[in-house]
Amino acid sequence: MNAKFKIMKIKIIITLLIIVGFMGFVHAEPFTPTNGTFAFQEVDIHEINGINFTIPTKYNMTHEGYGEMDFKGDFDKIKIKVTDNGKIKKVKSDKSKNISSGKSMLGSVKGYLVNKNGTYTFSYREDGKLVVIKSTNMPLMIGAIGKD
């Protein structure tokens, strides 16, 4: 009887560990960073094609597709796209059309920034993937990358 009791006890422990593990994967809690762009704002971590992005909870997801997500706040929105392949699309600066472009850094990330009439597009490579972030809110873009 002792052997049966030990086996049953091990099965119960394994079952409980599996249940707790699934709860950890399914239940993602918002948290509040104490430093960085989103200091003292509640944020969620969103994974897009294997790369994590930080978005304040006051932004609602408006679109989710393979490798992309769109979020909208009260006054602005952000679109993030991560592809396995692709090249950074370089745009020529044109003062007459109010377009500026060139190599830049957002936080500690090196990439290519295009400013077209106050709409920013930042492209960079991470883990061999092309990341493209588009928004009118530069601090939101920097905070979303999470590498202040």
Predicted model pTM: 0.73
Structure-token match 């006890």, residue found: 9
Q: What percent of the chain has pLDDT over 70?
A: 79
Rounded Cα distance, 111 and 143, in Å? 15
Task: For each of the domains in the chain, give its residue range(s) and CATH number, in order of start.
Answer: 30-145 (3.40.1000)
Q: Which two tokens stand for residue 2?
A: 């002792």
- Using left for φ > 0, alpha for ψ between -120 and 50, and beta otherwise, residue 78 falls in beta
Question: CB atoms < 10 A from the CB of 79, how many?
Answer: 16
- Tens digit of each residue's pLDDT, the chain (148 residues): 567 767 777 777 777 666 655 554 444 556 666 666 666 678 888 999 999 998 998 999 999 998 999 999 988 999 999 999 888 888 888 888 888 888 998 888 999 999 999 999 999 999 999 999 999 999 899 988 977 6
